[in-house]
Amino acid sequence: QVHLVESGGGSVQAGGSLRLSCAVSRDAASNDCMGWFRQAPGKEREGVATIWYGDGGTYYADSVQGRFAISRDNAKNTVYLQMNSLKPEDTAMYYCATDSPETPNSTWFMACRFAVYGQGTQVTVSS
């Protein structure tokens, strides 16, 4: 069973930076896609960034392009989200995500299928 554990959230002022980490269970470490999603209060969960295992290609939502960077350390089974120039509208619960073929319900983002999410880590940006 896939397990994802996020960490690194916190409270920062606008313009600040945070780096989120996601520890990935070994059985999912070589999944084609890993991604980050976020959900703000009263809003639907939205995709933020994805990274492909094979070529390391990265893709971003327009709202974070140029400010966020997703990366992965395959040796450590860890995925990161570096968030710079944070804005109050980035305030949300952030979730690490990947696919699990056994899980029927899924979401597609940037040509990747996502079906499993971690417990989330809160990011709060004050103005």
Number of residues that make up the chain: 127
What percent of the chain stands above pLDDT 90? Answer: 81
pLDDT, tens only, 8-37 = 999 999 999 999 999 998 777 777 899 999
pLDDT at 6 over 90: yes
Tokens 């890993």: give the residue.
34
The pLDDT score that the predictor gives to residue 12 is 98
The pLDDT score that the predictor gives to residue 27 is 78
Single-letter amino acid, residue 79: V
What is the rounded distance in angstroms from the CA atom of residue 48 to the CA atom of residue 64? 7
The token duo for 119 is: 């417990």
